């Protein structure tokens, strides 16, 4: 490599003026030399938390459906679409769609007191599993 010049990088006023068109390379370790123990992890099993979250959502949806049933007119179109979707969801799970939530009919038939107790237990379970 003919004509290649190296100059020290410093903090003097002269060099700052000269360094305007200079590139400084920063070395970083190559990914091939990383310790794989820190990069590869065992996947977390989310089956139980997901099931608990689905139960929690269904129980809350039951309450929301009761509240929205008392509203005569929803002025915003997305509000009406949400109410329709939530009603369909609650109806489907209450009839026993095992693909969404196994045990949906049993949850739908719970009395309000037992349902609220289960909601509180699920809230505690979900917040403590973080």
Residue 20 domain-assigned (yes or no): no
Long-range pairs of 50-56 with CB within 8 A, sequence gap ≥ 24? 51/101, 52/122, 52/125, 52/126, 52/129, 53/126, 54/100, 54/101, 55/101, 55/107, 55/118, 55/122, 56/119, 56/122, 56/123, 56/126
Confidence class for position 72, pLDDT limits 50, 70, 90: confident
Residue 122 domain-assigned (yes or no): yes
Q: What is the pLDDT of residues 75-121, one digit of tens each?
A: 888 888 999 999 999 999 999 988 888 899 999 999 999 999 999 99
Per-residue model confidence (pLDDT) at position 76: 85
Number of domains in the chain: 1
Residue 99 domain-assigned (yes or no): yes
Structure tokens at 105: 């009919």
Per-residue model confidence (pLDDT) at position 23: 65
Q: Which is higher by pLDDT, 6 or 33?
A: 33
Residue 89 domain-assigned (yes or no): yes
Confidence class for position 22, pLDDT limits 50, 70, 90: low
Q: Domain range holding 110?
A: 47-128
Residue 42 domain-assigned (yes or no): no
């Amino acid at each position: 490599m003919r004509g290649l010049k190296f100059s020290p990088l410093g903090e003097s006023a002269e060099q700052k003026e000269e360094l305007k068109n200079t590139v400084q390379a920063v070395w970083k370790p190559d990914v091939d030399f990383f310790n794989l123990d820190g990069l590869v992890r065992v996947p977390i099993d989310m089956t139980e938390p997901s099931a608990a979250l689905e139960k929690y959502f269904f129980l809350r949806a039951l309450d929301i459906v009761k509240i929205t049933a008392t509203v005569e007119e929803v002025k915003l179109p997305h509000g009406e679409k949400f109410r329709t979707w939530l009603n369909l969801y609650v109806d489907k799970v209450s009839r026993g769609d095992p693909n969404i939530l196994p045990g949906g009919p049993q949850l739908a038939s719970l009395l309000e007191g037992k349902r609220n107790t289960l909601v509180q237990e699920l809230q505690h379970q979900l917040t403590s599993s973080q």
